[in-house]
Amino acid sequence: MDTLVDPVTLPAAPATDPDMKVAELSPHDAEMERLTEMVARESAFLDDVRNEVGKVVIGQRYMVDRILIGLLANGHCLIEGVPGLAKTLCVKTLAQTVRASFQRVQFTPDLLPADITGTTIFNMQTGQFTQKLGPLFANLVLADEINRAPAKVQSALLEAMQERQVTIGDTTHRLPDPFLVLATQNPIEQEGTFPLPEAQLDRFMLLIKVDYPTREEERRMLDVMSAPEVPVAREVCGIEQLRAARRVVQHIYIDPKVRDYIVHIVHATRDPRAWGLTELAPLVEYGASPRATLSLAIAGRAHAFMNHRAYVTPDDIKAIAEDVMRHRVVITYEAEAEEITSEDVIRRVFERIPVP
C-alpha cells in the first residue's frame, strides 16, 4: 500500500477507549493499522442497523445502504420510485434505529414556505410575537413527493439543505446535527408537478432509484407484514455514535491515484472528445459539476467505511458513481430521442477511463 501523503488530525477517541488520544496520521504503517482498528470499531454498529431495518423493510438493501451512505457523508438523498416501495417506511425505521428525530412533510401545490420552516405567531395573552419552528427542525426530514411543491417552497428548502439553517422573520436558526433531507418523487406521474431546478438537484448528494422487490422478497414481505404482530426495529445506536462515525469517515484514506481517477471521470463527462469518447459528445448537454467530484470522494469514503475498510478503492467509486452523477449529467434531446440515459453515459465513461 502506498504511504500516506497529507498529515491529518484524527478525531478524538470515543469514551469507551480513554487511552487513545488525538493523533497525527503519519506515513507509517502503524498509523494506518491504527486507523483500520478505529474504522472496524466505529463501523460495527452499521451491521446491527442493517439487520434491524431488514426486520421491517423486506429487501430494498440497496436503498438502505445508500441512505446510510448519505447519513455518514452528511449528504441529502433524492429517492425516486413508484408508490408502495417502502420509501417512507425505510426512512422512518432507520430513524428509529439511530435514535434520530423524524418528520414527514407531504408536499402539495398549495404548500407554503412557512409550512416547513415555521412562522411568527402573535400571542394575545402576552401581547408578544413568538416563533413556531416548522418540521424542518429534525434530524431526518422526509420530503414526500418533493416535486409537487411550488418554487417558493423549493427556495426555502434549498437554504436549509445548503446552509443547514432556516430564517424566520429576522432570526436565523441553526438546524440540528445531523440534518438530512430525504426526498421522494414519483417518476411515472408528472401532472401537477414542478420539475426541480438544476441548482436544487445538485444539492442532493445521491439520487437513489428504487426498483420492485424480487419475487422471493415480496413473498417474505407478505408473510411478515400479514402476521398478527408486525415487527418493530429496536434502537441500536445514538446520535453521538453516528457523529463519531462521521468524523472517522472524513479520515478514510484516498490514494492520490484514486483522487485522479475521480477527477478524470468527472472531466470526461464534460469533454468526452478529450477522452476519446467522441460518440458521447452530441449526447451530453452538461457534464457533472465540481460538487460531483467532492461527492464521489466523500461517498466513496462512506462506502469503504460501511465495508469496514480504512481506504478507498476504485470499486468504491464505481459502486456509488451512478447515484452521485445520474442527476448531474444532463443529456441532450438527441440522447432522449435515442432512449439513451445519463446512466448509459456514465457507464461508457467508466468503460473508457483506465482504472488505477
CATH fold, domain 72-213, is Rossmann fold (3.40.50)
pLDDT score of 270: 92
pLDDT score of 28: 56
Cell numbers of 279, please?
460518440
pLDDT in tens, 304-326: 999 999 999 999 999 999 999 99
State the CATH architecture for 251-352.
Answer: Orthogonal Bundle (1.10)
pLDDT score of 191: 67
Q: What is the pLDDT along the chain (356 residues), one digit of tens a residue?
A: 333 333 333 333 333 343 333 333 444 577 888 888 888 888 889 999 999 998 888 888 899 999 999 999 999 999 998 888 888 889 889 988 988 889 999 998 888 888 898 888 877 877 788 888 889 999 999 999 888 888 888 888 888 888 898 888 788 889 998 899 999 888 776 666 777 878 888 889 999 999 888 899 889 888 888 888 888 888 888 888 999 999 999 999 999 999 999 999 999 999 999 888 899 999 999 999 999 999 999 999 999 999 999 999 999 999 999 999 999 999 899 888 888 999 999 999 999 999 88
**How is residue 313 annotated by DSSP?**
-
- Cell 417558493 maps to which residue? 152
Residues of the chain with CATH 1.10.8.80: 251-352
Three-state SS string across 3-44, please? Answer: CCCCCCECCCCCCCCCCCCCCECCCCHHHHHHHHHHHHHHCH
CA 96 to chain centre: 18
Measure the CA–CA gap between 124 and 71, rounded to whole angstroms. 42
Q: Is the distance from CB of 221 to CB of 58 less than 8 angstroms?
A: yes
pLDDT score of 189: 67
Q: Is the distance from CB of 164 to CB of 179 less than 8 angstroms?
A: yes
Q: Which residues contact 91 (CB under 8 A, 6 or more apart)?
A: 67, 102, 140, 142, 182
Residues of the chain with CATH 3.40.50.300: 72-213
pLDDT score of 268: 94
Measure the CA–CA gap between 81 and 211, rounded to whole angstroms. 7
